Amino acid sequence: MSRMLRASAIMAAGTMVSRVTGFVRTMVLAYAIGTAALGDSYNAAYAIPYSILDLLLLGVLSSVIVPMIVRAQQQDPDGGRAYEQRLLTVATVTLVGVAVLAVFAAPLLIDLYTDWAPGSKKFEVGVTLARFVLPQLAFFGVGAVAGAILNTRDRYGAPMWAPVLNNLVVICVFVAYAVVSSAKDDIERVSNGELALLGLGTTAGIVAQAVVLIVALRRAGFSFMPRFDVWNARLGEMAKAGVWTIGYVIVTQLGFLLTTNLSSAAGDAVPGHGISPYTLAFQLFQLPYGVIGVSVITAMLPRMSRAVGEGRFDDVRSEFGSSVKLVCALMVPVSLLLMVLGPAITVPIYGHGANSVADAVYIGNVLQVYGLALVPFSVFQLLLRVFYSFGDTRTPVFVGAGTTAVNAGLMVVFYMVLPAAYAVMGLALAYAIAYGMGAILAWWLAGRRVHGLGGWGVGMALTRMYLASLPTAVLALAAVWVVTQVFGGLGFVNSLIVLAVGGGLGLLLYLGVAHRMRIPEVNSIVGMVARRVGR
């Protein structure tokens, strides 16, 4: 537990700063271009390279590449150095080629990911932005492989801190746009030069992030030498192991395609209720998981992979149980706070400039629904790593396919029965229900693999965490009610008051109650923070 806490704390600190600067980034984005037509075009273009990277690399990074690097370090005479060089060479050459092809295919990609008619202003602006943004594919992918190699060397700092520089670069770009642009959020008046500033500036942030990771890799003792003897790169083994993971990514990306098409159609029906509010709310929803869940998973997976390789299944169960409890110790109260304080969170962040307070409140309403999904989504992601540590990439495909099928079916149903103004909220509700069901299925299958995951102990721990969180939820509800009744509505200042009382004091109340209830994971977190403050 102590090792995981230390490693997770390093990553969580970097991720926290990254997410805070990410907050500022999205604030400036909403201020500069809003969440209507121009904002939708930018967010659609911005999502495409990440979707392609999921298909080609990110999906197999943690499930296949990290375990294979660990095995090469354990088994190869040179400690896996040549294997890592071959891997980085293959990734670089492949992603440069994909980036070039994607730039030429930008119109087809925008047509695929949105419901916009070719020739419409939204479509044409989206294509232009995509051509400026898609070159980042190569840099982001190379940086991701470099980060994976660093993680296997227990160097967690740079992969978690590099995105901070990316955010700072893009913040400067959007500030520059807000200052120099005469079009602002008017998609009819925006010029190609202004679109180039937005698109190339976004790519510049990824370039800076990749440079930081490559420099960190060199400082860790890794000297890159291009190796084109790819027959020694175990690509066949990787393909065999990764084909199922790629299948899983394809399934989830099909769900994402449906999401972007439905949300883009909703945005056409009700401006400000389309892709942008969905994207911005999803980013906020991912914040707690990104700070806590990803940090724990990154530290957990290499150790679980080693334990599986050495046949220590008891350690696998112990590692998983500790990870779930550690993650949920903070996810449980945060999920309740998101459900209560959604608009109070989004109004100070997004209710400025080109984005109205009403637009920001709607983003908060979507975030409230996403709060339902936070705990099941986090547990689902942890469960997938159990399969990946065994080298099993097939089972997650079937689990993911079932989850995505449920999500897709519910999205269509909610989109059809709900008014367009509530369609994006319906998409978030479908996501929450689907991942709740997916977590149940994944738990059952993973439990069979390791002869039990300690479900009773985890269930009791979660029950105590929810009980400890109830006073926090009540305090947050009271703060919202009092401020809206006394001061009338959630403006900027009123939202800050609600956040200070309901969020700040609420979390302190949770920590106090959980400490009194002797919840071990909370006590460990409080003790670690107290020791660091004492220094």
Q: Is 79 domain-assigned? A: yes
Neighbours of 222 (CB within 10 A): 18
Task: Tally the domains of the chain.
Answer: 1
Out of 193-197, 353-357, 386-390, 456-460, pick the least confident: 386-390
Most confident of the ranges 8-22, 184-198, 449-463: 184-198
Say how far apart CA 373 and CA 191 lie, in whole Å. Answer: 40
What pLDDT was estimated at residue 220? 77
Asked whether residue 124 carries a pLDDT value surpassing 90, the answer given is yes
Closest CA to 357 of 490, 482, 481, 174: 490
Looking at residue 247, its pLDDT comes to: 73
Q: 167 in a domain, yes or no? A: yes
With respect to residue 459, please indicate whether it lies within any of the assigned structural domains.
Answer: no
Residue 214 lies in a domain: yes
Is there a contact between 208 and 65 (Cβ–Cβ < 8 Å)?
A: no
Higher model confidence: residue 172 or residue 288? 172
Q: Say if 281 falls within a structural domain.
A: no
Element at 334 (helix H, strand E): helix 313-350
Model pLDDT, residue 403: 93
Residue 532 pLDDT: 47
Tokens of 297: 């998973």
**Token duo for residue 439:** 């977590």
Lowest mean pLDDT among 76-90, 449-463, 469-483, 509-523: 76-90
pLDDT band for 486, please (50, 70, 90 cuts). Answer: confident
Residue-averaged pLDDT of the chain: 84
pLDDT in tens, 248-281: 677 888 889 999 999 999 998 888 899 999 999 9
pLDDT in tens, 301-322: 667 777 766 667 777 778 788 8
Q: Is residue 280 part of a domain?
A: no
Instruction: Give pLDDT tens digits for 279-301.
Output: 999 988 988 887 777 767 766 66
Could you tell me if residue 310 is inside a domain?
no
| Residue 46 covered by a domain | yes
Q: What is the domain extent for residue 66?
A: 36-233
What are the residues whose beta carbons fall under 8 Å from the beta carbon of 382, sequence distance 6 or more?
A: 293, 296, 297, 300, 320, 323, 324, 327
